[in-house]
Each structure stands twice: as C-alpha cells, then as structure tokens.
Amino acid sequence: MGDHSMASTPQESYEALIARVQEVATLQSCAGVLHWDRETYMPPRGAAHRAGQLAALAGLAHEKFTDPRLGELLAAVEGTDVVAEPESDAAVNARELRRAYDRATKLPRELVEEIARVTSLAHGEWVDARRRADFRIFRPWLEKIVALKQQEADCYGHEGSRYDALLEDYEPGATTAWLEGVFGPLRDALVPLLEAIKGAPAEPDVSILARSYPVDRQELLGRVAAAAFGFDFQAGRLDTVAHPFCSGIGPGDTRLTTRYNERDFGDAFFSIVHECGHGLYDQGLPADHWGTPRGQAISLGIHESQSRLWENLVGRSLPFWRYFFPIACHVFPEALGDVSLGTFYFSINDVRPSFIRVDADEVTYNLHIILRFELEQALLSGELAAADVPGAWNERFTAMFGITPANDAEGCLQDVHWSGGGIAYFPTYALGNLNAAQLFAAAREAIPDLDEQFARGTFGDLLAWLRENIHSQGMVHRPPQLIQIVTGKPLSHEPLMAHLRAKFKPLYGL
C-alpha cells in the first residue's frame, strides 16, 4: 500500500499507520543500541560524536511520529469497524497511539527545545552541586525546570492537578488522588513497623557481605541466578556499567547491565536479579506486535513490579536461598564457608533508616518515595518554592526516619531525576513495590507450592504465570485495570504490608 497515496479503507489506513509507527520504533531501537554502547564499550573520546548520533535519531523519530499524515491515518481508523472491539489489537493500538500522538503534538516546539536546553545544562550543575553538597548552585536551575514543567503540564491540560498531567508520561491512567489513596495508608503503616524494627533486640551481621567476593565469580553467580529464573542468554547479554539498567532493544535482544564491588556481595547480585526481572518482561513481550503499543510494556510502575518481584520477593526470600545458598558457598568458599543460611539470610535483609534512596531496604524504600511525591506536588502547584526545598526535605525526612541529613548531598541533591526534568517519575518506583507484592500474592494463590518450588530451584511456573498475566498483555489494559483484573482487587498497600510484616517481624524477633 503506497504510503503517499490516500489509503482508501479503514483497514488500509490502519496498516499504513502501523507501518509508520514501527518505523519510528525501529529508529528508537537503533538509538537504544547506541545508548547501551555508550554506557558499556564506547571509548570516552567518542562521546561528542555519539551525542550527535543520538540527537539525529531522536529528531528523526520525533519528526516521523508527529507527521500530520500519521494523525490523519489515526483519525481515519478511529470510530470504524477496525477498532470496534475495545480489547482487540487494533483498538489497543489506536487508543494508545492517540494518547501518545496528542501528547507529542500538544507541546510547542519552543518549549520542547527550551526543556532540552535547560536540562542538558542543569545536569552538569547538579553534578557540581551534589559533589560540593551546595544546593545554592542547583537552586536557579531547579527554579527554571519547575517553571518549564508547570508550562508543560498546562499545555497537556489537567483537571486541577498539574501533577496528573506529568504522571501520564510514566504511569498512564494514574492520578495524584489515586496515588494519595494508596501512599497515605502505606506511609501510616510503614512508620510504626520501622519504629518497631529500630527498637528490636536482634540485629544482622552485615560484615559478612563486605568480605572478599572476587568479581569474576560474582558475575558467574549472577549469570547462574538469571539463567535459573529463565533469562534467555541466547536472546540477551550481561555487561558492566557505572549505573545498572536493562535495555530491551527488540525481539531476541535484551541487555542487562550491572556493576561490581569486590567488597560488596549484594550490590552486583541484587542489581543483576533486579535487571533480570526487567529483562524477563522484555523477553516475554509479544514479538509479533513489536513496535506497536500492543507489544509494549504497559508502564514504568508495572515494569518495575517485575524487577522488584524477582529482586525482593524471590531473590531475598528464604525459599530461594535454601536452593541457592549452597551454590553461593560453592562459588565463594572462603567468604561463606563459616556462615549459616540463617545468618546470611538475615544479613541480606538488613533494615535501617538511611539517607540514600538507592541503598534503602524493602521497609524504608517507599518512605523515600513518598517524601519526593509530596515535595514534587508542592513544587508544581507553586506552594513550595525551589529555594525552600532543602528545609522542607530535611524537616519531612526527620519526621519519617528519625535522622537528619548532614548536608544536601545526603538530602535533596542525591537524585539525578529533577535535573533531567523527571518530575512525577519517582512514584513509579513505589508502585513497582506495591504492584509486585500484590501480583506475587496472586501468583502464590494460583501456585500453592511456590516456596517448595523455589527451594528446588524451580521458577518456571512463576515465570509462566507472569508471562500469561503480564508480559504477553502488552498495553491491552491501563495499569490500575491490569492489577484489578489479575489480582481481583484494586491496588492497595495491604499485600505489601502483609509481606513486610510476615517477613521482618520474625526476622527481628518482634
């Protein structure tokens, strides 16, 4: 079907639309390879040329996606028989392409360019401010970014909450009020649990995790775990980077990354398991729908649920270590030879208030997110000035954790997100934890002997359940509906709190 001639039937328009959208996705996946290469193997002096390559591809993809002809094809499909069945592949694609097309075309070009310009400059200023622990360096940039994000939210349109407009980028269908309804009770339940743990008599011996764990053997152990969970290394890789991520390049090509520290058992191991969870999702997406919403991950909060489920609910569980601890002892006989399973299990489940989000444990992690969620809303609404962020941060942090950051590098300057314009991104991390616990509880009901399976090193039933209920679904449903359909209940804090209480109360002798 000639793309230049007017398509004559809705079905022909749909096919022309999909061809264009897949072309955009192909360009984006080329950028994905270049990005992965930049983080792994590119020589340092290639950076400037690589930036040019990535900018050219991003510009080309944006131009193709916002082409008015794409909008015409979409309009020629909407309301026709092609999309009559709401959960059909075509209807899902049309619905999600409409959402993405409208968002991509609603922002004036000057605003897009100004955000790109300011955030690229702000990144360096943030790096400098964090290194010197001096918020004054970053303050004018945060002011500019908040003002630009306010404009962006107003361009998208919203019913009173600018935060809603920005959330839509990361978690389609989520609203501020809905998040508050889940995060509020979560906060109220987490704070007393943390207080109880802080006062508990038992304490893990974390020093065993700082013994010598040779890096080559850490990599081996991580590969063994990922393969046991079902990660296909014929369709994926594991490489080394400074900041771990997973890159789903396309069907048959999913790339995990991690970093190693000889004196830290957990850093690499749990990051490999985490990224493997993302990778299993990417490997489970329907390949024949690649490049269209029907074949894409539903949201960041659902993607993160897959990484957290494997990292925390499987990878930090006692049944898993019943199987895997003897393997770890075999790989690290010097470090683990005198350690019991119980001692090891407690050490990888250490809970304590700490300043840095990325180092936080299962209990405190979500409090770090709730703090950011509250501050971001106040910034966007204009209630909180950028200049007042450090004070507001420290006051709320102390109230939640009982400790006060010594400086802003330990406080409001620790994360990269705001410098890149990523406001409203943080909630997806906590949603990942909440979704993971609720999905895992449902999986446990469907597979009653899950613990016995893990203890035998069998993870295939769990993966098959995730494939069927989550991975193969692409974007058929919005995240809140998916959770309702798969678990039979709306998302709530209860499954996560039930998991945390059942795990940590006995561990800490409470």
> C-alpha distances in angstroms, 392 versus 379, 386, 388, 458?
11, 10, 6, 47
> C-alpha distances in angstroms, 334 versus 320, 330, 390?
22, 9, 45
**Distance, CA of 37 to CA of 41 (rounded, Å):** 5
**Distance, CA of 410 to CA of 359 (rounded, Å):** 12
Q: Which residue has the tokens 């909630």?
A: 427
Q: Which residue has the tokens 């949201």?
A: 299
Residues in the chain: 510
Environment class of 167 (CB within 10 Å of its CB; exposed 0-12, middle 13-18, buried 19+): buried
Q: Please identify, using beta-carbon distances, which residue of 27 and 302 lies nearer to Co ion.
A: 302
**Distance, CA of 436 to CA of 391 (rounded, Å):** 33
Q: Please identify, using beta-carbon distances, which residue of 260 and 365 lies nearer to Co ion.
A: 365
The token duo for 314 is 């499987």
The token duo for 506 is 């006995």
Cβ 306 to Co ion shortest distance, Å: 9
Catalytic residue of the set 39, 168, 275, 311 = 275
Q: Name 109's Cβ contacts closer than 8 Å, sequence gap at least 6.
A: none
The token duo for 55 is 């900018």
For this structure, is 275 an active site residue?
yes
- Residue 246: phi and psi, rounded to 5, are -125, 135
Q: Please identify, using beta-carbon distances, which residue of 122 and 302 lies nearer to Co ion.
A: 302
Nearest CA among 407, 404, 388, 393 for reference residue 132: 407
The token duo for 33 is 């390879």
**Distance, CA of 445 to CA of 432 (rounded, Å):** 20
Helices 265-284 and 215-229 sit at what angle, rounded to 10 degrees?
Answer: 30
Greatest CA span in the chain, whole angstroms?
A: 75
By the criterion CB under 5 A, which residues form the site for Co ion? 304, 307
**Distance, CA of 98 to CA of 41 (rounded, Å):** 37
**Distance, CA of 417 to CA of 431 (rounded, Å):** 17
Environment class of 484 (CB within 10 Å of its CB; exposed 0-12, middle 13-18, buried 19+): middle
Query: Does residue 273 contact residue 218 with C-beta atoms inside 8 Å?
Result: no
Cβ 290 to Co ion shortest distance, Å: 21
**Distance, CA of 307 to CA of 194 (rounded, Å):** 24
Q: Which residue is nearest to Co ion (CB)?
A: 307
Q: In what order do the strands lie in the sheet with 246-250?
A: 236-240, 253-258, 246-250
b/e burial code for range 284-318 (CB count within 10 A of at least 16 → b): bbbeebbbbbbbbbbbbbbbbbbbbbbbbbbbbbb
Catalytic residues: 275
